[in-house]
Amino acid sequence: MTTTISIDGAAELLRPPTDGLSYLRHNRAGELRLDPSSIAIADGRIAGFERDDGAAVRIDATGCAVIPGLVDCHTHLPFAGWRAEEYELKVTGVAYEEIARRGGGIAASARAFAEASDGEVLAQARSLVAEMLACGTTAFEGKTGYGLSVDAEARAVRLGRELGADRVTGLFAHAVPDGYDADAWMNEVDALAAACEVDALDIYVESVAFANEHLERLGAIAAREGVALRAHVEQFNANRSVPVALAAGARSVDHLACLHPDDIAPLAAAECAAVLLPGAELMSAERTPPARELADAGAICALATDCNPGTSPIVSLPLIVGLAVRRYGWTALEALLACTLNAAWVLGLSGELGSLEVGKRADVVLLDEPISHVPYRFGRNPVCVVVRRGEVAWVRPDAAGRVSA
Ligand SMILES: [Zn+2]
């Protein structure tokens, strides 16, 4: 079966400056092109940039911006339940230690994950993936980390695969489970990494969790397993984890709200992405990372939702784009680069996803407004049609008239 689609007459079509780029450093974001164009799709791939008058499906893109499918390179899917009560405690001034004493925090999500059946976990996660698709996300990464035991972490890997996450990351070192100290749990992390089929390994480095020495050890484990190293670092404190992550060959360092000024230049020069999570920053009243400086220095910047029940129950990348533009002093193009090509690179998928190029997977999103409106009309979802793997995957009801077959 070959579906052909012609997306006709877009006012703006987002293209990289040249084809074949694995990523684009942020000081070059201004080179992205935004010309009027059409786009033809065949056999699940982008076939060209002119109308295909014989296409089986036609999509009228008059007045639309057409962008690559958005890539969410940092989520904690799948998880069970939510923690809304905890959010209210947090915003009304109850300290995290007190919330944890009342049974909240990661431990609460671990209990919910343990109590939910596989079917319940997957049903919740699938409804979130559907919401993400309606917001333009066509590929995403999911992490383990709410297991807090060897068996439950292995179950989380299995459920991430069943969910269909494009990448499954073993965040085995998320919190130190009861009955372990951090060193002893790292022995279990080592064994889990050897036993489970994951695409990357991740760690939460913070005073309440793991330390730089554990990040260094995880780097060695990731190298042994031949998978990418990622790390949650500098979220609430400056632990100077970035030099450790760079020395360990990390693919990305994520959060960075408390990035030390001396670490900006080495990170910007490295082939390691700065994954920024402005939704978590807002919801947890974190500091703002030096994102303008990172972009100007030529870092590979990426954006993600950090979708999780504790600090960022957010699924919308257009919302994240709006937050990034306002908090970081970024242009709309810089923010879109960060959740398309560079986000795909974080996941090792930029040969296939993240930009509109002939031969790439046909993940294409229509916005019913110019790109400049995405951050400006903050909180509005501009996504009206989503094509995923060369098939029309979602049409907003009021845009049904744009699609004819
Ligand atoms: Zn996270």
How many Å lie between the centroid of ligand 1 and the Cα of residue 160? Answer: 15
Question: Confidence class of residue 96 from pLDDT cuts 50, 70 and 90?
Answer: confident
Kindly report, residue by residue over 23-68, the tens digit of the pLDDT. Answer: 999 999 999 999 999 999 999 999 999 999 999 999 999 999 999 9
CA dihedral sign, ordered 45, 46, 48, 51: positive
Residues 135 and 266 in one domain: yes
pLDDT of 2 higher than 70: no
How many Å lie between the centroid of ligand 1 and the Cα of residue 265? Answer: 24
Residues 148 and 124 in one domain: yes
How many Å lie between the centroid of ligand 1 and the Cα of residue 65? Answer: 30
How many Å lie between the centroid of ligand 1 and the Cα of residue 85? Answer: 20
Residues 280 and 140 in one domain: yes
Check if the beta carbon of residue 245 is closer than 8 Å to that of residue 251.
Answer: no
Residues 32 and 113 in one domain: no
Residues 220 and 364 in one domain: no
Q: pTM score, two decimals? A: 0.98
Residues 144 and 250 in one domain: yes
Residues 120 and 43 in one domain: no
How many Å lie between the centroid of ligand 1 and the Cα of residue 17? Answer: 31
Average pLDDT of the segment spanning 226-243: 97
How many Å lie between the centroid of ligand 1 and the Cα of residue 306? Answer: 5
For 91, residues 6+ apart whose C-beta sits below 8 A from its C-beta are: none
- Residue where a domain terminates, one of 323, 346, 369: 346
Residues 307 and 358 in one domain: no
pLDDT of 124 higher than 90: yes
Kindly report, residue by residue over 265-297, the tens digit of the pLDDT. Answer: 999 999 999 999 999 999 999 999 999 999 999
Share of the chain above pLDDT 70, in %: 100
- Residue where a domain terminates, one of 346, 369, 384: 346
Residues 38 and 84 in one domain: no
How many Å lie between the centroid of ligand 1 and the Cα of residue 1? Answer: 39
How many Å lie between the centroid of ligand 1 and the Cα of residue 180? Answer: 22
Residues facing residue 99 across a β-bridge? none
How many Å lie between the centroid of ligand 1 and the Cα of residue 173? Answer: 12
Domain that holds residue 32: 4-68+354-404
CATH assignment of the domain containing 46: 2.30.40.10
393 token code pair:
């995957």
Please list the helix, strand and coil fractions of the chain in percent, rounded to the nearest 5, in that order: 35, 25, 40
Check if the beta carbon of residue 321 is closer than 8 Å to that of residue 332.
Answer: yes
Kindly report, residue by residue over 294-332, the tens digit of the pLDDT. Answer: 999 999 999 999 999 999 999 999 999 999 999 999 999
Residues 239 and 275 in one domain: yes
pLDDT of 1 higher than 80: no
d(CA 14, CA 141): 23
Nearest to 203, CA basis, from 180, 245, 174: 174
How many Å lie between the centroid of ligand 1 and the Cα of residue 203? Answer: 9
d(CA 142, CA 156): 10
CATH assignment of the domain containing 228: 3.20.20.140
What pLDDT score was predicted for residue 103?
84
pLDDT of 95 higher than 90: no
Check if the beta carbon of residue 251 is closer than 8 Å to that of residue 346.
Answer: yes
Nearest to 79, CA basis, from 167, 19, 156: 156
Domain count of the chain? Answer: 2
Kindly report, residue by residue over 150-183, the tens digit of the pLDDT. Answer: 999 999 999 999 999 999 999 999 999 999 999 9
- Residue where a domain terminates, one of 346, 375, 396: 346
For 21, residues 6+ apart whose C-beta sits below 8 A from its C-beta are: 341, 350, 355
For 181, residues 6+ apart whose C-beta sits below 8 A from its C-beta are: none
Question: Confidence class of residue 186 from pLDDT cuts 50, 70 and 90?
Answer: very high
Residues 64 and 77 in one domain: no
Residues 42 and 180 in one domain: no
pLDDT of 339 higher than 80: yes
How many Å lie between the centroid of ligand 1 and the Cα of residue 404? Answer: 40
